[in-house]
Structure 1
Amino acid sequence: MHALAGQRVVVMGGSSGIGEAAAAFFAADGAEVVITGRDQDRLDAAAGRVGGKVSAYRVDGADRAAVDAFFAGSGPVDHLVVALSGGKGGGPFAELDLAELAAGFDGKFWPHVQVLQAALPALRRDGSVTLVTAASARAALPGTAGLAAINGALEAMVPPLAVELAPLRINAVSPGVVDTPWWQGVPAEQRRTLFDGFAAITPVGRVGRPEDIARAIHMLAANDFVTGVVLEATGGATLATGR
C-alpha cells in the first residue's frame, strides 16, 4: 500500500544524509518528490540515487528571497520536510564564542523558521510539515549547550504551531548520533572511536543510519492523526538507563 502515492513532497536539504534518505522513502511510496539544496551537482547526484519521480532545485534555505521565490513557483505542496543541517554553536560554555552561537542560529534555526513561513501559502491545508531537529535539545552532554539552545528553540515551537496552523500538521523528528556526511569533518579514526563510544551506551547497540530517521519522517507525514509531536529517534540514547 502506497500511503502517499501521487502526493507532492518537498524536502529542503535533500542532497545527502537524512534529507536524501527521506526523499528516497517518499519516492518509493509513489510520491512526487522535490529536493532542494545549495549545490546543484550534489542535488543532481542525489536525485539519480533516489530514483522515481524526483526533481532537484538549487535553493539556499538561508536566503529568504530565494526561498520565497521557490515556493511562489512550486505549485501545491502536500508535505514539507525541513532537513537543513547546522553545525555551529558547539563547545564548552565557558569558552563558547557567542558569534559562533549566533551563526549556529543563522545556519539552522532561522532557515527552518523562514522556510516554514514561506511555504504556508503553497502547503495543502491539511498537509504536513516535519522539521528535523536534534536530540542535543535534551541530551545534556557537556559542550552542547549552544546546540541544545538551537534545536530546543525549534522543538519548543512545534506544539503551539500545531494548534495555530491546524489542520496543517506540524511535527519534528529529533535524531541522536547518525552516521551521515555531517561527520566527515572529523578524521575517520576519531569518528569511529566516537561512534563506538556512543554505540556502547545506546540500548540498540549502534549509532543511527539515515534510513532510521527517514522512516520516522515518513511515518509522521503519512499518519494524519499525529501532530504537535517531537519524535525522538536516538536508539534509546537519551533513556535513563542507570549506567
Structure 2
Amino acid sequence: MKVLLDSMGLQAQVHLAGHRRLARFLSILESIPDCSVSFSSGPTLTWKELQDHTVLVITTRYPAEVVYSGQELTWIWDFVRLGGGLLLMSNHGDLPGSNPHDMTQYDAQVGHLFGVNIECSWFQNPASVELSVLGGKDFLTSHPIIGGHGEEDAVRTVVINNCSSIVAEGFGHPLVPLSQDMVDLRNGNSPQNRLFAHALDPQTAGSLPIEGRLVTVADSGFIGDEGTTVPGPGLIGHGDNAQFVKNVVRWLGREMG
C-alpha cells in the first residue's frame, strides 16, 4: 500500500515546517506491513502522483492560499471513482466573535463531490476547557474500522477538542456520531444525527459511480502529536485515536473488510 499525504493540508504544512506535528501518525502508517508514506511534491496534487498511490490523506485544506483548484477536484473525484481510497479530514467552522477561521469551506467542496455534507459548525464540550470523548453503543461496531479486523483492535473511544459536523443520511456507514453532550457553539444546537466520521464504499454509495472508498472526518487536529499545540492540541495518544486512524487507512487500502 502506498499512502500519499497532501502537503497542502494544514497539519501537513505544520509538520513540514519543522514542528513534527505528524511524527507519530507517520510512524503508525509506516508500521503497517508493506506500507510506504510520502508527501505530495508540489503546491497542488497531480494526477501522476495520485495514480502512483493507493490512499490519499488530506489533513484540512486551509487557508485560502491553498484552496483546491478545479483540476484538483476533478482528479480527486477520478482517484476515488477509479478505485483509490481517500481520507478527508476537515476541521471546525468559524466562531463569530471568537475565531474567524472557517476551516470547513474548502474540504466541503470535496465532500460535496461524494454527497457528503461537511457543515460549518463548531462542536465541542460546553465546558470548553474539557476534551470530548466519543464512544459507546452508538459506534458502528459492525464495520471493521470500528470493530477491528484480523490483528487490528477495535476502536472504543475517539478523543477530540472541537470539530465540525458531517451529515450524510441514507447512504454510507455512520461510523462515529458526535457525542450528545457536545454543543455547536455557533448556535447552541445539539448534535442530533450529525457525525464525526462517515465511510463510503461502492456497496453503499447509491447512484455514485465509484469503485474506491472514502472516509470523511470532522477534525484533523486529533491526529497531531502529543505535546504539539499548533494549530491545536495534538491528541494522537488519547483514547483509541491511533488505532482509529490505522484502521481507517488499512480499510481505505482494502486491507480490512
More helix, by proportion: 1
TM-score, normalised by the number of residues in structure 1:
0.45
Rg comparison, structure with higher value: 1
More strand, by proportion: 2
TM-score, normalised by the number of residues in structure 2:
0.43
